[in-house]
Chain A
Amino acid sequence: MTLFRGRRILAGAMTLVAAAALAACGSKTSDSGIAAGVSADVSGDTVKVGLLNSLSGTMAISEVTVRDSIMLAIEEINAAGGVLGKKIQPIGEDGASDWPTFAEKAEKLIREDRVAAVFGCWTSASRKAVKPVFEKNKALLFYPVQYEGLEQSPYIFYTGATTNQQIVPGLDYLKAQGARSLYLVGSDYVFPRTANKIIKAYAAANGMTVLGEDYAPLGSTEFGTITNKVKSSGADAVFNTLNGDSNVAFFKEYKSAGLTAASMPVVSVSIAEEEVKSIGTQYLEGQLTAWNYYQTTSGAANEKFVAAYKAKYGADKPTSDPMEAAYVSVHLWKAMVEKAGTFDVEKVREASSGITFEAPEGLVTVDGPTQHIAKTARIGKVGADGLITEVWNSGQPITPDPYLKSYPWAGGLS
């Protein structure tokens, strides 16, 4: 009996050793040295860039479209002769909607593939996961999605909107329309909670009252009670920071309760053309969105972008704000590299300030100190055809202010 037990313990120990050995192999890449910057490999006649998006899992629906637009931009640049005479060679990795995987793949792209820059990430959670990797290795990430602000990493360029280019203009618009009371509905995680903190500070300073604030877990599909609360509050408008599938259930319930865009408009910050298609125009017609770009935005640059995208990926594929921001990020990187005359990360960062690009959304300018982009804010209305048309814009690009330092009411936020 004792012998038997001894054997089992031995077997157990062997298994542990084997597992430890395996684990060591698996984590080899992240242990190989405390990095002091790995310079990009630009010895050949190509330059490698990394594309880091979720091609599987719950975020794939959105992130695949971002990957597609990055590829379109790379093709365009290569057709026009590349960057500093070198063709761009994209190296794609799948973040799999899993934040540790994002960090692992970022490390791989930087250290093994020695890419000159990485384009990608969508959720704030994935950005927060890769941020230390880029900072440790002194490598560049271009992040293309609107986010909750209050962040400024020296190794990240933020080409989506920060709060003062999306949420604050959305509130300004509602105020101008005469909305005096708001109801806040959001998913229960970092972006909506931070956004709502900002909204409450704005409301307090602008004579608006927030009548209620409700959060549903990501993926929640039961909105009967929240809709009842919204309806009985009699608010002038609803500010919606729900993400993903919850929007489907929320807008179905909203319509069933007899609420309409005319009686109580909803401003959403996470619903773009792609999402409109999946929720159904039946439920969304007339509701408002806040972004910096719509497929319908006028201008020659956008006509060219939309036509090129549809020609490559299909006539039924809409273009949206994050896709446009991703497309722009590649072109901005090219301009920065050419101004710097080198792929060296620190020189590229130094050269970034003041870089402009005639983007589909209009002229955008890189703001050197914050590494965000000056963008025009646009409020849009969902039409019967599923496209969003602009009803208001800020007239000129808004200088990014991720910490809202120029807004006195936001003093206590960060």
Chain B
Amino acid sequence: MTVLIGQLFTGVSIGAVLLLIALGLALTFGQMNVINMAHGEFIMAGAYTTYVLQQVITAAGWSLLVALPVAFVVAGAMGVLLEILLIRRLYARPLDTLLVTWGVSLILQQLARDVFGSPNVQTRAPELLTGNIALPGGITVANNRLFILALAGSAVVALTVALRVTPLGRRIRAVVQNRDLAAVSGIATSRVDRTTFFIGSGLAGIAGVALTLLGPIGPTMGTNLIIDAFLVVVVGGIGQLKGTVIVAFALGVLQATGEYLTTLSVAKVMVFVAIVAFLQWRPQGLFTLRTRSLA
């Protein structure tokens, strides 16, 4: 029983990591219909930002707190730059966007290798986040996982509020639903695109900060995660956050359960089979992408 609850928590926390990565994609891919293969490198940028900040601010706790907003801005700025220089010119050509951003992702990886060296680097976690909370019945809950869960939760809430309540969110939704009508109604669509891209990429930066608590920081850390995150958005359905949230946690728990019962490799296969079966049964998740694109 103890193990089952521990395992459930592991699944939820894998889901939280997936969710943090997928949230940014839900904006850029889900709302703007841009397949940005360099999203993983924005995660890497966030992680390296944490590393650099820790060289300056030696107190691990403070550097982590400062890293959150700074990584958001750094990754967001990189996203805006990418949007202005390349993606803006390719909005009607999704396949070209995919290739171009993949090229950008390779360039960014090499850049990281040249700047920080190819060996991975480490950050020190604050002492508070390396421990755990012991619950009755011998269940322990790791603090770093709790922190990531809280971070993912706050990001979802903040994003939902921003999209539903603020004037900016209204404009974003207007552009997503009907770009031409939004434009003639006086909305500067290109500026809205840029802002959306800033937020989406910035969220990747925050995911990068969170990942420094779990594993190493290296040039290719983003590529391992990006496929799973795309799957979450595709299965969850395009153009809304609710699906992303539910699917992220569902995949996390499925992965953890599968791994517990079998092995890690088999669990991965199980997750992929489940996704394929799901999309056979309910392809809308995939196909709403087409019907809503640039209507």
Interface residues of A (CB under 8 A from B): 56-58, 60-61, 188, 214-217, 219-222, 224-226, 228-229, 231-232, 245, 248-249, 252-253, 255-258, 278-280, 282-283
Contact = CB atoms under 8 A, between A and B. Distances in A.
A343 B276 CA distance: 62
B131 A215 contact: no
Interface stretch (B77-85, B86-94, B213-221, B279-287): B213-221
Contact of B131 (A216, A219, A228, A256): A256
B145 A224 contact: yes
Contact of A188 (B218, B260, B265): B265
B122 A280 contact: yes
A232 B265 CA distance: 21
A217 B265 contact: yes
Contacts of A257: 132, 140, 142
Interface string B210-253: 00011110100100100000000000000000000000000000
Interface in B3-57: 3, 6-7, 10, 13-14
A299 to B, nearest CB: 30
Nearest to B113: A56
B154 interface: no
B216 A282 contact: no
B263 interface: yes
Contacts of A283: 130
A232 to B, nearest CB: 4
Contacts of B143: 256
B120 A252 contact: no
Contacts of A256: 130-132, 142-145
Contact of A245 (B13, B142, B213, B215): B215
CB-based closest 9 A-B pairs = A256-B142, A221-B215, A224-B10, A61-B119, A249-B215, A225-B259, A248-B216, A232-B3, A245-B216
B149 to A, nearest CB: 12
Given A221-B214, A248-B215, 18 more contacts: A57-B118, A60-B119, A61-B118, A214-B263, A219-B224, A221-B216, A221-B224, A224-B14, A226-B259, A228-B7, A248-B120, A248-B122, A249-B215, A252-B125, A252-B213, A252-B215, A253-B214, A258-B140
Contacts of A249: 214-216
A226 B7 CA distance: 10
B165 interface: no
Given A214-B264, A221-B214, A224-B145, A282 B125 contact: yes
Most chain-A CB neighbours within 10 Å: which of B143, B216, B256? B216
Contacts of B184: none
Contact of B124 (A219, A232, A282): A282
A220 B216 contact: no
B2 interface: yes
Contacts of A215: 263-265
A93 B214 CA distance: 36
Nearest to A64: B119
Contacts of B132: 256-258
A280 B123 CA distance: 8
Interface of B: 2-3, 6-7, 10, 13-14, 118-122, 124-125, 130-132, 134, 140, 142-145, 213-216, 218, 221, 224, 256, 259-260, 263-265
Given A222-B14, A224-B256, A256-B131, A217 B142 contact: no
Nearest to B258: A225
A57 B118 CA distance: 7
A278 B131 contact: no
Nearest to A216: B264
A253 B143 CA distance: 10
B264 to A, nearest CB: 6
Given A188-B265, A256-B143, A228 B10 contact: yes
Of listed B14, B145, B214, residue having the most chain A CB within 10 A: B214
Contacts of B214: 221-222, 249, 252-253
A61 B221 CA distance: 16
Contact of B122 (A56, A219, A225, A278): A278
Contact of A232 (B6, B13, B14, B218): B6
10 contacts: A57-B118, A214-B263, A220-B264, A224-B256, A225-B10, A245-B216, A249-B216, A256-B130, A256-B142, A279-B122
Contacts of B215: 221, 245, 248-249, 252
B256 A225 contact: yes
A217 B3 contact: no
Nearest to B2: A232
Contacts of A228: 3, 6-7, 10, 260
Given A221-B224, A232-B6, A278-B122, A258 B216 contact: no
Contacts of B140: 257-258
A282 B213 CA distance: 13
Contacts of A188: 265
A280 B142 contact: no
A282 B125 CA distance: 9
A12 to B, nearest CB: 23
A281 to B, nearest CB: 10
A217 B3 CA distance: 23
Contacts of A56: 118
Nearest to B143: A256
Contacts of A57: 118
Nearest to A220: B264
Contacts of A282: 124-125, 130
A215 B264 CA distance: 7
Contacts of B119: 60-61, 278
